[in-house]
Amino acid sequence: MDFNVIWYIIIGLLLVGYAILDGFDLGVGILHLFSKGDHDRRIMLNSIGPVWDGNEVWLITAGGALFAAFPEVYATAFSGFYLPFMLLLIALIFRAVSIEFRSKEPSRLWRNTWDRSFSIGSMLAAILFGIAIGNVIIGFSIGPDKVYQGTFFDLITPYTILTGFFNLSMFAMHGAIYLNLKTEGELQKQVQGWIKRTYFIFVIMFLITTGATLYLRPEMVANFSFGMVELPGAYHALVEKNQTIISILAWLIVVLNLLSIANIPRTLAKDKPMQTFISSACTIGAIIGLFALGIFPNMMISSLSPDFNLNIYNGASTEYTLRTMFFVAIWGFPFVFAYTSLIYWTYRGKTKLNESSY
Protein backbone atom coordinates (compact mmCIF):
# COMPACT_ATOMS: atom_id res chain seq x y z
CA MET A 1 0.00 0.00 0.00
CA ASP A 2 1.55 3.33 -1.06
CA PHE A 3 1.05 6.78 0.45
CA ASN A 4 -1.47 7.72 -2.26
CA VAL A 5 -3.78 4.96 -1.04
CA ILE A 6 -3.10 5.82 2.61
CA TRP A 7 -4.10 9.45 2.03
CA TYR A 8 -7.21 8.38 0.15
CA ILE A 9 -8.19 6.38 3.25
CA ILE A 10 -7.29 9.21 5.65
CA ILE A 11 -9.40 11.77 3.77
CA GLY A 12 -12.23 9.24 3.62
CA LEU A 13 -12.08 8.76 7.41
CA LEU A 14 -12.12 12.53 7.93
CA LEU A 15 -15.24 12.81 5.76
CA VAL A 16 -16.91 9.97 7.67
CA GLY A 17 -16.14 11.79 10.93
CA TYR A 18 -17.56 15.00 9.52
CA ALA A 19 -20.72 13.37 8.15
CA ILE A 20 -21.47 11.63 11.46
CA LEU A 21 -20.75 14.62 13.69
CA ASP A 22 -21.92 17.56 11.60
CA GLY A 23 -24.65 15.37 10.11
CA PHE A 24 -26.62 15.39 13.34
CA ASP A 25 -26.32 19.12 13.94
CA LEU A 26 -27.42 19.78 10.36
CA GLY A 27 -30.27 17.38 11.10
CA VAL A 28 -31.24 19.34 14.21
CA GLY A 29 -31.38 22.44 12.03
CA ILE A 30 -33.53 20.66 9.41
CA LEU A 31 -36.04 19.69 12.13
CA HIS A 32 -35.86 23.00 14.01
CA LEU A 33 -39.05 24.54 12.60
CA PHE A 34 -41.09 21.44 13.47
CA SER A 35 -40.74 22.24 17.18
CA LYS A 36 -43.20 24.65 18.74
CA GLY A 37 -42.45 27.28 21.33
CA ASP A 38 -39.35 29.18 22.31
CA HIS A 39 -38.36 26.75 25.09
CA ASP A 40 -38.22 23.68 22.83
CA ARG A 41 -36.33 25.54 20.13
CA ARG A 42 -33.78 26.74 22.67
CA ILE A 43 -33.33 23.16 23.90
CA MET A 44 -32.66 22.06 20.33
CA LEU A 45 -30.18 24.84 19.69
CA ASN A 46 -28.37 24.26 22.97
CA SER A 47 -28.18 20.50 22.36
CA ILE A 48 -25.67 21.26 19.58
CA GLY A 49 -24.41 24.57 21.02
CA PRO A 50 -21.14 23.31 22.54
CA VAL A 51 -20.21 21.03 19.60
CA TRP A 52 -21.44 22.37 16.25
CA ASP A 53 -18.38 24.52 15.47
CA GLY A 54 -15.99 21.77 16.58
CA ASN A 55 -17.78 19.35 14.26
CA GLU A 56 -17.00 21.58 11.29
CA VAL A 57 -13.29 21.28 12.08
CA TRP A 58 -13.49 17.83 10.49
CA LEU A 59 -14.63 19.36 7.19
CA ILE A 60 -11.90 21.99 7.29
CA THR A 61 -9.30 19.31 8.08
CA ALA A 62 -10.54 17.13 5.22
CA GLY A 63 -10.40 20.12 2.84
CA GLY A 64 -6.88 21.00 3.98
CA ALA A 65 -5.73 17.41 3.60
CA LEU A 66 -7.26 17.23 0.11
CA PHE A 67 -5.50 20.45 -0.89
CA ALA A 68 -2.11 19.22 0.31
CA ALA A 69 -2.33 15.57 -0.76
CA PHE A 70 -4.31 15.87 -4.00
CA PRO A 71 -3.99 19.48 -5.23
CA GLU A 72 -5.19 18.71 -8.77
CA VAL A 73 -8.37 17.13 -7.40
CA TYR A 74 -8.86 20.06 -5.04
CA ALA A 75 -8.45 22.55 -7.91
CA THR A 76 -10.89 20.72 -10.17
CA ALA A 77 -13.45 20.29 -7.41
CA PHE A 78 -13.37 23.89 -6.27
CA SER A 79 -13.42 25.30 -9.82
CA GLY A 80 -16.17 22.92 -11.00
CA PHE A 81 -18.27 23.32 -7.86
CA TYR A 82 -17.44 26.99 -7.36
CA LEU A 83 -21.02 28.29 -7.25
CA PRO A 84 -22.40 25.33 -5.23
CA PHE A 85 -19.55 25.73 -2.75
CA MET A 86 -20.28 29.45 -2.44
CA LEU A 87 -23.93 28.63 -1.75
CA LEU A 88 -22.77 26.03 0.78
CA LEU A 89 -20.54 28.60 2.46
CA ILE A 90 -23.42 31.08 2.65
CA ALA A 91 -25.68 28.40 4.11
CA LEU A 92 -23.12 27.46 6.77
CA ILE A 93 -22.52 31.13 7.63
CA PHE A 94 -26.25 31.75 8.03
CA ARG A 95 -26.51 28.72 10.33
CA ALA A 96 -23.68 29.99 12.51
CA VAL A 97 -25.01 33.56 12.63
CA SER A 98 -28.52 32.31 13.44
CA ILE A 99 -27.29 30.29 16.42
CA GLU A 100 -25.34 33.25 17.80
CA PHE A 101 -27.87 36.01 17.08
CA ARG A 102 -31.19 34.36 17.95
CA SER A 103 -30.93 34.85 21.71
CA LYS A 104 -29.78 38.48 21.52
CA GLU A 105 -33.34 39.91 21.37
CA PRO A 106 -36.57 38.61 22.98
CA SER A 107 -38.71 39.83 20.05
CA ARG A 108 -40.77 37.04 18.46
CA LEU A 109 -40.18 38.45 14.97
CA TRP A 110 -36.42 38.53 15.59
CA ARG A 111 -36.30 34.94 16.83
CA ASN A 112 -38.62 33.57 14.13
CA THR A 113 -36.43 35.18 11.47
CA TRP A 114 -33.29 33.49 12.78
CA ASP A 115 -35.17 30.20 13.29
CA ARG A 116 -36.05 30.17 9.59
CA SER A 117 -32.52 31.18 8.62
CA PHE A 118 -31.07 28.37 10.75
CA SER A 119 -33.38 25.74 9.31
CA ILE A 120 -33.14 26.81 5.66
CA GLY A 121 -29.34 27.05 5.92
CA SER A 122 -29.19 23.52 7.36
CA MET A 123 -31.45 22.08 4.65
CA LEU A 124 -29.55 23.83 1.85
CA ALA A 125 -26.18 22.60 3.17
CA ALA A 126 -27.41 18.99 3.41
CA ILE A 127 -28.85 19.06 -0.12
CA LEU A 128 -25.71 20.64 -1.61
CA PHE A 129 -23.48 18.02 0.00
CA GLY A 130 -25.67 15.33 -1.54
CA ILE A 131 -25.63 16.98 -4.97
CA ALA A 132 -21.81 17.15 -4.87
CA ILE A 133 -21.57 13.44 -4.03
CA GLY A 134 -24.08 12.62 -6.76
CA ASN A 135 -21.95 14.42 -9.34
CA VAL A 136 -18.84 12.56 -8.25
CA ILE A 137 -20.68 9.25 -8.65
CA ILE A 138 -22.30 9.97 -12.00
CA GLY A 139 -19.35 11.99 -13.34
CA PHE A 140 -19.25 15.48 -14.75
CA SER A 141 -17.60 17.07 -17.77
CA ILE A 142 -13.91 17.21 -16.87
CA GLY A 143 -11.76 17.87 -19.93
CA PRO A 144 -8.19 16.79 -20.76
CA ASP A 145 -6.88 19.92 -19.03
CA LYS A 146 -8.50 18.73 -15.75
CA VAL A 147 -10.91 21.66 -15.85
CA TYR A 148 -14.70 21.41 -15.53
CA GLN A 149 -16.25 22.39 -18.88
CA GLY A 150 -19.92 22.66 -17.91
CA THR A 151 -22.06 25.19 -16.11
CA PHE A 152 -23.72 25.27 -12.71
CA PHE A 153 -27.00 24.01 -14.16
CA ASP A 154 -25.25 20.99 -15.71
CA LEU A 155 -24.59 19.81 -12.14
CA ILE A 156 -28.33 19.75 -11.41
CA THR A 157 -29.75 16.53 -12.85
CA PRO A 158 -32.56 14.22 -11.68
CA TYR A 159 -29.97 11.87 -10.20
CA THR A 160 -28.04 14.56 -8.31
CA ILE A 161 -31.31 16.04 -7.01
CA LEU A 162 -32.15 12.52 -5.80
CA THR A 163 -28.81 12.20 -3.97
CA GLY A 164 -29.33 15.68 -2.53
CA PHE A 165 -32.67 14.77 -1.00
CA PHE A 166 -31.37 11.37 0.07
CA ASN A 167 -28.68 13.16 2.07
CA LEU A 168 -31.31 15.52 3.48
CA SER A 169 -33.40 12.57 4.70
CA MET A 170 -30.37 10.81 6.21
CA PHE A 171 -29.21 13.87 8.15
CA ALA A 172 -32.76 14.63 9.32
CA MET A 173 -33.05 11.10 10.73
CA HIS A 174 -29.59 11.31 12.30
CA GLY A 175 -30.46 14.67 13.87
CA ALA A 176 -33.69 13.33 15.36
CA ILE A 177 -31.81 10.34 16.79
CA TYR A 178 -29.26 12.70 18.35
CA LEU A 179 -32.04 14.82 19.88
CA ASN A 180 -33.44 11.67 21.48
CA LEU A 181 -30.20 11.53 23.49
CA LYS A 182 -30.39 15.16 24.59
CA THR A 183 -34.07 15.75 25.37
CA GLU A 184 -36.61 14.53 27.91
CA GLY A 185 -40.31 14.75 28.70
CA GLU A 186 -42.84 15.86 26.10
CA LEU A 187 -40.16 17.12 23.74
CA GLN A 188 -38.47 13.72 23.72
CA LYS A 189 -41.79 12.03 22.86
CA GLN A 190 -42.18 14.46 19.98
CA VAL A 191 -38.61 13.72 18.87
CA GLN A 192 -39.28 9.98 18.88
CA GLY A 193 -42.18 10.62 16.53
CA TRP A 194 -39.80 12.51 14.23
CA ILE A 195 -37.41 9.53 14.26
CA LYS A 196 -40.16 7.20 13.03
CA ARG A 197 -41.21 9.54 10.23
CA THR A 198 -37.69 10.44 9.09
CA TYR A 199 -36.66 6.76 9.27
CA PHE A 200 -39.49 5.78 6.95
CA ILE A 201 -38.55 8.53 4.46
CA PHE A 202 -34.85 7.60 4.71
CA VAL A 203 -35.48 3.92 3.95
CA ILE A 204 -37.56 4.82 0.88
CA MET A 205 -34.89 7.25 -0.33
CA PHE A 206 -32.14 4.70 0.41
CA LEU A 207 -33.80 2.04 -1.75
CA ILE A 208 -34.52 4.44 -4.63
CA THR A 209 -31.02 5.98 -4.58
CA THR A 210 -29.29 2.60 -4.38
CA GLY A 211 -31.38 1.28 -7.29
CA ALA A 212 -30.75 4.37 -9.40
CA THR A 213 -27.01 4.25 -8.68
CA LEU A 214 -26.69 0.59 -9.66
CA TYR A 215 -28.75 1.22 -12.81
CA LEU A 216 -26.81 4.29 -13.95
CA ARG A 217 -23.36 3.30 -12.67
CA PRO A 218 -23.16 -0.51 -12.32
CA GLU A 219 -19.36 -0.25 -12.15
CA MET A 220 -19.74 1.18 -8.63
CA VAL A 221 -19.63 -2.44 -7.44
CA ALA A 222 -16.77 -3.51 -9.75
CA ASN A 223 -14.12 -3.28 -7.02
CA PHE A 224 -16.01 -5.75 -4.84
CA SER A 225 -17.78 -7.93 -7.39
CA PHE A 226 -15.30 -10.85 -7.25
CA GLY A 227 -14.31 -9.78 -10.79
CA MET A 228 -17.83 -10.25 -12.19
CA VAL A 229 -18.38 -6.58 -13.13
CA GLU A 230 -16.04 -4.87 -15.58
CA LEU A 231 -14.37 -1.64 -14.50
CA PRO A 232 -13.73 1.02 -17.19
CA GLY A 233 -9.95 1.14 -17.31
CA ALA A 234 -7.64 -1.03 -15.24
CA TYR A 235 -8.17 -2.21 -11.69
CA HIS A 236 -5.84 -0.77 -9.10
CA ALA A 237 -3.08 -3.27 -8.33
CA LEU A 238 -4.16 -3.43 -4.69
CA VAL A 239 -7.69 -4.48 -5.74
CA GLU A 240 -6.49 -6.85 -8.45
CA LYS A 241 -4.19 -8.75 -6.08
CA ASN A 242 -6.68 -8.89 -3.20
CA GLN A 243 -10.00 -8.96 -5.03
CA THR A 244 -11.50 -11.83 -3.06
CA ILE A 245 -10.56 -10.41 0.34
CA ILE A 246 -11.69 -6.89 -0.59
CA SER A 247 -14.97 -8.23 -2.00
CA ILE A 248 -15.67 -10.20 1.17
CA LEU A 249 -14.88 -7.19 3.37
CA ALA A 250 -17.02 -4.91 1.22
CA TRP A 251 -20.01 -7.25 1.35
CA LEU A 252 -19.57 -7.45 5.11
CA ILE A 253 -19.94 -3.65 5.10
CA VAL A 254 -23.10 -4.04 3.01
CA VAL A 255 -24.48 -6.47 5.59
CA LEU A 256 -23.42 -4.12 8.41
CA ASN A 257 -25.21 -1.31 6.61
CA LEU A 258 -28.45 -3.27 6.35
CA LEU A 259 -28.21 -4.48 9.97
CA SER A 260 -27.53 -0.98 11.27
CA ILE A 261 -30.54 0.39 9.36
CA ALA A 262 -32.74 -2.42 10.72
CA ASN A 263 -31.39 -1.88 14.25
CA ILE A 264 -32.61 1.73 14.44
CA PRO A 265 -36.33 0.98 15.01
CA ARG A 266 -35.47 -2.03 17.21
CA THR A 267 -33.33 0.00 19.63
CA LEU A 268 -35.82 2.87 19.52
CA ALA A 269 -38.59 0.50 20.63
CA LYS A 270 -36.37 -0.85 23.42
CA ASP A 271 -35.60 2.71 24.57
CA LYS A 272 -31.84 2.45 24.03
CA PRO A 273 -31.05 5.87 22.55
CA MET A 274 -27.27 5.48 22.51
CA GLN A 275 -27.51 2.22 20.55
CA THR A 276 -29.91 3.95 18.14
CA PHE A 277 -27.36 6.72 17.63
CA ILE A 278 -24.51 4.23 17.09
CA SER A 279 -26.63 2.39 14.50
CA SER A 280 -27.33 5.65 12.67
CA ALA A 281 -23.61 6.57 12.75
CA CYS A 282 -22.68 3.11 11.41
CA THR A 283 -25.23 3.55 8.62
CA ILE A 284 -23.60 6.82 7.52
CA GLY A 285 -20.09 5.37 7.82
CA ALA A 286 -21.00 2.29 5.77
CA ILE A 287 -22.63 4.33 2.99
CA ILE A 288 -19.58 6.60 2.66
CA GLY A 289 -17.23 3.59 2.84
CA LEU A 290 -19.05 1.84 -0.03
CA PHE A 291 -19.07 5.07 -2.05
CA ALA A 292 -15.29 5.47 -1.58
CA LEU A 293 -14.63 1.86 -2.54
CA GLY A 294 -16.95 2.18 -5.53
CA ILE A 295 -15.03 5.04 -7.17
CA PHE A 296 -11.52 3.92 -6.06
CA PRO A 297 -8.85 4.71 -7.30
CA ASN A 298 -10.64 7.66 -8.94
CA MET A 299 -11.53 10.80 -7.03
CA MET A 300 -13.23 12.79 -9.80
CA ILE A 301 -14.92 10.97 -12.68
CA SER A 302 -15.16 12.59 -16.10
CA SER A 303 -18.36 12.06 -18.03
CA LEU A 304 -16.44 12.84 -21.26
CA SER A 305 -13.85 10.07 -21.13
CA PRO A 306 -12.33 7.73 -18.49
CA ASP A 307 -8.93 9.02 -19.67
CA PHE A 308 -9.76 12.38 -18.07
CA ASN A 309 -10.59 10.96 -14.66
CA LEU A 310 -8.64 12.37 -11.75
CA ASN A 311 -7.32 9.59 -9.56
CA ILE A 312 -5.03 9.20 -6.57
CA TYR A 313 -1.96 9.39 -8.84
CA ASN A 314 -2.53 12.00 -11.56
CA GLY A 315 -4.13 14.34 -8.99
CA ALA A 316 -1.60 13.83 -6.19
CA SER A 317 1.32 15.70 -4.69
CA THR A 318 4.79 14.20 -4.82
CA GLU A 319 5.61 11.06 -2.83
CA TYR A 320 7.93 13.13 -0.61
CA THR A 321 5.03 15.45 0.29
CA LEU A 322 2.64 12.58 0.98
CA ARG A 323 5.20 10.81 3.15
CA THR A 324 6.04 13.94 5.14
CA MET A 325 2.36 14.76 5.65
CA PHE A 326 1.70 11.24 6.84
CA PHE A 327 4.23 11.49 9.67
CA VAL A 328 2.80 14.89 10.64
CA ALA A 329 -0.74 13.47 10.58
CA ILE A 330 -0.02 10.51 12.85
CA TRP A 331 1.01 13.03 15.52
CA GLY A 332 -1.84 15.44 14.82
CA PHE A 333 -4.78 13.05 14.70
CA PRO A 334 -4.63 12.06 18.40
CA PHE A 335 -5.07 15.74 19.31
CA VAL A 336 -8.18 16.01 17.14
CA PHE A 337 -9.66 12.86 18.68
CA ALA A 338 -8.74 14.03 22.18
CA TYR A 339 -10.29 17.47 21.64
CA THR A 340 -13.48 16.00 20.22
CA SER A 341 -13.79 13.36 22.96
CA LEU A 342 -13.20 15.92 25.73
CA ILE A 343 -15.92 18.24 24.41
CA TYR A 344 -18.49 15.46 24.14
CA TRP A 345 -17.60 14.07 27.58
CA THR A 346 -17.86 17.53 29.18
CA TYR A 347 -21.31 18.22 27.70
CA ARG A 348 -22.75 14.71 28.02
CA GLY A 349 -26.28 14.15 29.32
CA LYS A 350 -29.60 15.90 28.80
CA THR A 351 -29.62 19.53 27.69
CA LYS A 352 -30.60 22.06 30.37
CA LEU A 353 -31.14 25.78 29.95
CA ASN A 354 -29.32 28.32 32.07
CA GLU A 355 -28.32 32.00 31.92
CA SER A 356 -25.52 31.34 29.42
CA SER A 357 -27.70 29.29 27.03
CA TYR A 358 -28.54 30.47 23.53
148-160 per-position pLDDT tens digit: 888 888 889 999 9
Region of poorest pLDDT, from 77-91, 107-121, 173-187: 77-91
pLDDT score recorded for residue 194 = 94
Q: How confident is the model at residue 9 (pLDDT cuts 50, 70, 90)?
A: very high
Q: E strand or H helix at 44, and its extent? A: helix 38-48
C-alpha closest to that of 244 among 227, 261, 262: 227
Cβ of 353: how many Cβ atoms within 10 Å? 12
pLDDT score recorded for residue 283 = 95
Region of poorest pLDDT, from 68-82, 225-239, 314-328: 225-239
pLDDT score recorded for residue 1 = 78
pLDDT averaged over every residue in the chain: 89
The fraction of the chain above a pLDDT of 70, given in percent, is 99
pLDDT score recorded for residue 199 = 96
Segment 175-192 mean pLDDT: 92
pLDDT score recorded for residue 37 = 86
* Alpha helices, DSSP H, located in 149-303: 158-182, 185-216, 237-241, 243-269, 273-295
pLDDT score recorded for residue 139 = 87
Using the predicted structure, report yes or no on whether residue 254 has a pLDDT greater than 80.
Answer: yes
Segment 270-296 mean pLDDT: 93
Task: Put residue 226 in one of left, alpha, beta given phi > 0 → left and psi -120 to 50 → alpha.
Answer: left
Segment 258-262 mean pLDDT: 94
pLDDT digit string, tens, across residues 38-93: 889 999 999 998 888 888 888 888 888 888 889 988 888 888 788 888 898 899 88
- Under 8 Å CB-to-CB from 106, ≥6 apart: which residues? none
pLDDT digit string, tens, across residues 122-155: 999 999 999 999 999 988 888 888 888 888 888 8
